[in-house]
Amino acid sequence: MVLENKVAIITGGASGLGEATAIRYAGSGASVIVADTNTSGGEKTVELIREKGGTAEFVHTDVTSENDVINMINVAKGKFAKLDALVTCAGILLSPNTRVDQFEATDWDKVIDVNLKGTFLCVKHAVSLMGQHDSGVILMIASGAGVLGGSSSVAYAASKGGVYGFGLTLAGQLKPLNIRVHVILPGNMATTLKLNVIGEIAEKAGGSRQEAIKAQLPSLLKPEVTAELLTNLVSDIGTSAQDTLLIQSAAWTKIFEDQKRSS
């Protein structure tokens, strides 16, 4: 198994990419901490993992709370004595297609808190544990919206742009600790968050939520596809991935497939 004996924390593990990644990691041999505010969803992810013989623990975690994040890290340390990988999938998007002069400051704060501050807190405390063993991989889920713009939400774009810059800085800062940092820009995925945004935009325009989702669903990536790439990055194959910024594409997928066949 490519992740045998590895320990990983997946934030946002109750649904979407986080859920798919947690299941994929556990199926590849890793022990997984599933962290989320959604207790029922997180426990369901853990149940699915255990049914297949995997090892997982759910930790109720609000990534905007430093105390919650510290507890999450302490659970990993107490249960498994180390941390090999952190994947920051927790994220929200509010007020899609709302012009900046009509965007509520409270919504702005919520998005920045979860997507950017939450990522910072998780990385901060994960590094404290990874640093004890001078190794680790941090995979930060950003978005093309934070680099190229085009998001339906100004706060979401700003938060993901912050994650992008944060990750580029971390890559150099943590290199002496032998901790690899990658910022991932996945394509549009069929996650609950994305489907809700599609539906909300359609409703605002007077259209049908269901029809809009049905029309766009075939063009969206399955979270499981991105989860495979995130698995490769934490495996021995991933040690050859030197770029901090990784954009999901068919070419990138092919590189990993070629490496697996030749190993």
Q: Catalytic residue numbers?
A: 156
Residue 81, C-beta contacts closer than 8 angstroms, at least 6 positions apart: none
Q: For residue 261, which of 232, 234, 241 has the smallest C-alpha distance?
A: 232
Inter-residue contact 144 to 240 (CB < 8 Å): no
Cα(208)–Cα(214) distance, rounded to whole angstroms? 10
Cα(146)–Cα(226) distance, rounded to whole angstroms? 18
**Residue with tokens 């912050």, as numbered in its chain:** 162
The 3 state secondary structure assigned to 50-69 is: HHCCCEEEEEECCCCCHHHH
Residue 253, C-beta contacts closer than 8 angstroms, at least 6 positions apart: 225, 228, 229
